[in-house]
Amino acid sequence: MTDDLLEQHFSRVENPLNDSDWLAVRRLARRPRRRVALVALAAAAAALLVAPAFGLGGRVLDLIRGDPAPTEVQTSFAAGNESRERLFEFAAAAGHELHDRFSPVIPGEARGVAAVETPDGPIYLWVAPTEDGRQCWLIQAGEDPATGRPYGGGSCDGIDRTRAIQPEGPGWTIERPSVLILHVRVYDAAVTRVQLEFEGRAGISLPVVSGHALGTVPKQESVHLLSVVGRNADGEVVERWTAPQ
């Protein structure tokens, strides 16, 4: 049976009515974005204060407390395991000297750490421990409407932590229409707040939760991060990161 013959059969049962309405589609598309319940920073911070640190099989998990990540996020971390492992294998096979080692993320232990509301919709920070006690994170800015998979990007702790404060962004994280995303990884537990200073624009101060700070600034043509100052609960400067010249 040919395609043409089958097409004739199907043409007998198709509905030719064209009841399309593009203007209605455009109206629907302009609806306010769904407001997903945010993982409140204050609540997460409070959970940190009351939750005792604990260990599991030698893995350090005390910095990760908060809402369990949804299945799609856990799946994303699991997929990241596969790609990271392949990357390490390829690099080793190609003879590159590795300054890091692969340790799988534990997707089932992924937790929400922070969320910020932006004109482009909420942005979430999910964190999961690795088996050797480090962390990987995913900054999620929505989901792929076709697959439901989280849309975003992330990274993992390196094995060699030479800095107590490690900023990401602006410009190194995922692209959003209206804002630039700023993420700071903090390895010093004494730091409860980070102050980000920029060239030619006002700085911002962000709380540190589970070793991470997440924030945004309105998008401008040029945003240059000059320094990140880590302060303790008393407001004293504990650490400082300065952008390389």
Partner 1 sequence: MDERARAIEELYRERYVGFRNALATVTGSYESARDAVQEGFARALASRRQFRGDGSLAAWVWQIAFRAALEARGVPEASIDDVLDPQLVAPERHPSLTAALATLSPRRRLIVFLRYFADFSYADIATACDVSEGTVAATLAQAHQALAETLEPEGALQ
By CB under 8 A, name the one of 55, 68, 119, 148 that touches partner 1.
148
Distance CA(188)–CA(230), nearest Å, equals 9
What CA–CA distances, in Å, run from 114 to 9, 12, 15, 195, 232?
55, 55, 49, 17, 19
**Listed ranges 3-11, 60-68, 95-103, 194-202: which one lies at the site for partner 1 (CB under 8 A):** 3-11
- CB nearer to partner 1: give 27 or 224: 27
142 binds partner 1 (CB under 8 A): yes
Residue 102: which of 185, 161, 159 has the closest Cα?
Answer: 159
Token digits of residue 187 = 């390895």
Distance CA(135)–CA(80), nearest Å, equals 13
| CB neighbourhood size of 200 (10 A) | 9
**Listed ranges 28-36, 39-47, 126-134, 221-229: which one lies at the site for partner 1 (CB under 8 A):** 28-36
18 binds partner 1 (CB under 8 A): yes
**Listed ranges 5-13, 37-45, 57-65, 232-240: which one lies at the site for partner 1 (CB under 8 A):** 5-13
75 binds partner 1 (CB under 8 A): no
Residues near partner 1 (CB under 8 A): 1-2, 5-10, 12-22, 24-31, 33, 142, 144-148, 151, 175, 177
